[in-house]
Amino acid sequence: MGEFVRLEVADGVGTIRLDRPKMNALDSQVQREIRDAAQEATERDDVRAVVIYGGERVFAAGADIKEMADLSYTDMVAQSRVLQGCFSAVARIPKPVVAAITGYALGGGCELALCADVRIAADDATLGQPEILLGIIPGAGGTQRLTRLVGPSKAKDLIFTGRFVKAEEALAIGLVDKLVPAADVYAEAVRWASQFSNAAAYALRAAKEAIDTGLEVDLATGLEIERQQFAALFATEDRTIGMRSFMESGPGKAQFLGR
């Protein structure tokens, strides 16, 4: 458990909780603690899905500018690899991941939310990639993950202008997937994650890997990735359980073991 980031586990759902008052600024220590929490969530069998949450007031307002202001080019050559690696550790969690967004998710905070599979936001949340206003660009995946999520034209608009995006627009352009009252954000994210507590873990892993990897390759290669993942699942106990349950009791009644 880190000083500012911890993994809390209950009923199959792991919550990666950011708690660095007052705006969850993502300095190098927080970045490393996010990486460690993501690795722990990846490795723990009792974690079947993950919620990323910054608390009731704010998700994460971005990088720690005071820490970054005096860094040189050579400093950032090294630090930028660490930064991307920490966020990529979240994106590579082989389980369903949902970001529960309250308040602000700006800069690195928005990039962290982009690492999730699904984003549930408060109806008064604000998102954006305002790095251009500091004379830089997003460096933790924003130019890549945002573009893949909302398309190049809209991503360029948001990144070129650095403007803030209100919740309704974020929903309209696909930057978030659902809006709820701020007080309900975490509960709704846990509800979404909880549906996987007794799901076929290796099938979920295979589906996520096939989708995410397939986005980076041509269709023929993507189909081959899918074929291999599909065939491999016939070696799992859950496949046997699922098919037997379907034949005996119909769909949706299987009691999976996660292996």
Domain boundaries, the chain: 5-194, 201-249
Active-site residue, 131 included: yes
Domains 5-194 and 201-249 share a fold: no
Active-site residue, 63 included: yes
10: left (phi over 0), alpha (psi -120 to 50) or beta: beta
State the pLDDT at residue 127: 98
User: 12, 116, 128, 131: which is the annotated catalytic residue?
Assistant: 131
User: 14, 62, 108, 258: which is the annotated catalytic residue?
Assistant: 108
Strands 178-180, 118-122: pairing kind:
parallel
State the pLDDT at residue 183: 97
pLDDT tens for the chain, 259 residues long, are 799 999 999 999 999 999 999 899 999 999 999 999 999 999 999 999 999 999 999 999 888 888 888 889 998 988 888 889 999 999 999 999 999 999 999 999 999 999 999 999 999 999 999 999 999 999 999 999 999 999 999 999 999 999 999 999 999 999 999 999 999 999 999 999 999 999 999 999 999 999 999 999 999 999 999 999 999 999 999 999 999 999 999 988 899 998 9
Active-site residue, 111 included: yes
Measure the CA–CA gap between 233 and 19, rounded to whole angstroms.
38
pTM of the model: 0.94
Burial of 37 from C-beta contacts in 10 A (0-12 / 13-18 / 19+): buried
Q: What is the dihedral of CA 175, 23, 190, 107, to 10 degrees?
A: 20
The closest alpha carbon to 3, from 13, 92, 27, 14, belongs to 27
State the pLDDT at residue 113: 98
Indicate the CATH number of 201-249 among 1.10.12.10, 3.10.450.50, 1.10.357.10, 1.20.1740.10. 1.10.12.10
User: 25, 107, 111, 201: which is the annotated catalytic residue?
Assistant: 111
* Beta-carbon count within 10 A of 164 CB: 15
The CATH classification number of 5-194 equals 3.90.226.10
The number of residues making up the chain comes to 259
